A and B are shown apart, each in its own frame.
Chain A
């Protein structure tokens, strides 16, 4: 499979990454190289093979329902690009 510019625009939007128009040909070229490489998988018959999401056949450990965290807002917001009155700020969101 290969991607057209419109496909790339769509996935760029989904991944929230701006791609300058001038970069588009290069991006398309590289993505198509990669897709051509991964397409070698398509030749393999995988009928009936259970997808493997994790190397270990383990199951999830469950945590006891206990509050272990304390208020760390001041420390945690030191990295915030913009915060006021305890809130993280972003340009106004219009639903």
Chain B
């Protein structure tokens, strides 16, 4: 039987506020345990929450970016359950009246097609703390630094039909929140986390199958893997006549396996009710419009601009315009070197491959945008060839200085001296009389190919520094004599 996969995502995004959603504690990552957990964060008796305005505004920015309705009145609720990383014994979240209503985002797939994924709503809530399980033999340690960090939880409709779509959607959200500057989007620090709802159904069937929810996915790759495994597991079950149970599954990034955490029957009864310590949040039209007016450029608009003003292909524009940091880097390179095409090639090619290899973000690139532009300028003015440029880039990456320093220090300047080149060409031709004879007998079409055969030894003799255009000219002149 042919199966169709149905995927919905719940995405938690940490907001880039200075302080927590309900207290004045810092949200900085990596502080020593519980040093950023105040009396309020520890839920000391008598403490009370006050809502962070910036967190509200960030959520509104997201809502505006996805064309959603902003609820001018939203309510914080308590979600009750016990866990050591949840100090109050309830999570303050939004249930029936979230800040962001229904919206949509458009994703682009590898085949160039577009698809709209609907967003059910997005709400504000507080993050929990962290448990440390491997430090003590019989105890778990609780670090509440993260408790109270503001999150928006973005809940999609079950509109995705493959892991590719799910990943494209997740990446699009990443690109939106980082473009807005409302999240650092740093996946390694848990700034974006995914819960994936997966079900399958026979192709053509309208009714949804029983879904499972896999939690704790904190990278696009893990999400993709987890979806693949879950779809396979569900297909296996159904094809062997078994049932898919509605359950929550927990993904283990170390083993790449997910396992059942709790079934529907064991599901918590969270006893949501409006938090009596907080009042309804009312947002005026003026505030919403003021936020709208200040919205930074969004990925879709930026990509369109890249196509229009830099002449990039849609594909290149999507690679370079998707993430704000990448886009800013690319634009800076272009501005400094004056050649968008070369800038695009270098940023999406050499630089991005190198960054991927070392798992670095572009903001941490050892080669700055200005330095890369300097390298591109030397290609443009024929000081070096594209091939040598890669060597220079590598040296720059290793911290050996800017392009000019490296070219100078390593003597990589292209040889464009006609006399010197003619001498080398003569030597190479003299060493290969058979080749020369073959060339002379060949027709035009073949000659072109044979000409290339002399290029290798010439480049070798010049350590790649010969100006290829000039060598071509000299060769043709000499052979055609």
Contact = CB atoms under 8 A, between A and B. Distances in A.
Q: Assess A/B contact in the complex (Cβ within 8 A).
A: yes
Interface of A: 14, 16, 53-54, 56, 58-69, 71-73, 76-77, 82, 84-93, 95
A63 B282 CA distance: 14
Contacts of B431: none
B388 to A, nearest CB: 50
Interface residues of B, number: 51
A43 B261 CA distance: 42
Nearest to B87: A88
B34 A90 contact: no
Contact of A14 (B37, B84, B269): B269
Interface string B309-331: 00000000000000000000000
Interface stretch (B3-11, B50-58, B435-443): B50-58
Interface in B35-76: 35-39, 42, 44, 50-56, 73
A90 B131 CA distance: 10
B364 interface: no
A56 B139 CA distance: 45
Contacts of B144: 88
Interface in B249-301: 250, 261, 269, 271, 274, 276, 278-282
A79 B458 CA distance: 79
Given A61-B279, A92-B139, 10 more contacts: A53-B276, A64-B54, A65-B52, A69-B19, A84-B136, A84-B141, A85-B33, A87-B142, A91-B138, A92-B133
B183 interface: no
B401 to A, nearest CB: 40
Contacts of A53: 274, 276
Helix, strand, loop or mixed for chain B's interface?
Answer: loop
Interface stretch (B24-32, B218-226, B235-243): B24-32
A87 B135 CA distance: 10
Contacts of B140: 89-93
A57 to B, nearest CB: 9
20 contacts: A14-B271, A59-B73, A60-B279, A60-B282, A62-B50, A62-B52, A63-B50, A65-B52, A66-B18, A69-B23, A73-B33, A76-B34, A76-B37, A82-B139, A84-B136, A86-B33, A86-B34, A88-B84, A90-B84, A92-B139
B414 interface: no
Contacts of B17: 65
A95 to B, nearest CB: 6
A90 B135 CA distance: 12
Given A67-B19, A73-B37, A93-B84, A60 B139 contact: no
Contacts of A86: 32-35, 143
Contacts of A59: 73, 279-282
Helix, strand, loop or mixed for chain A's interface?
Answer: loop
Interface of B: 17-19, 23-26, 32-39, 42, 44, 50-56, 73, 80, 82, 84, 131-133, 135-136, 138-144, 250, 261, 269, 271, 274, 276, 278-282
A54 B281 CA distance: 13
Contacts of B19: 63, 65-69
Given A87-B135, A87-B142, A63 B52 contact: yes
A67 B17 CA distance: 10
Contacts of A90: 84, 139-140, 142
Contacts of B35: 71, 73, 86
A66 B24 contact: yes
Nearest to A72: B38
Nearest to B35: A71
B36 A71 contact: yes
A62 B37 contact: no
B82 A64 contact: no
Contact of A60 (B18, B37, B44, B278): B278
A92 B56 CA distance: 36
Contact of A87 (B24, B34, B276): B34
B53 A63 contact: yes
A43 B278 CA distance: 31
A67 B276 contact: no
A88 B34 contact: yes
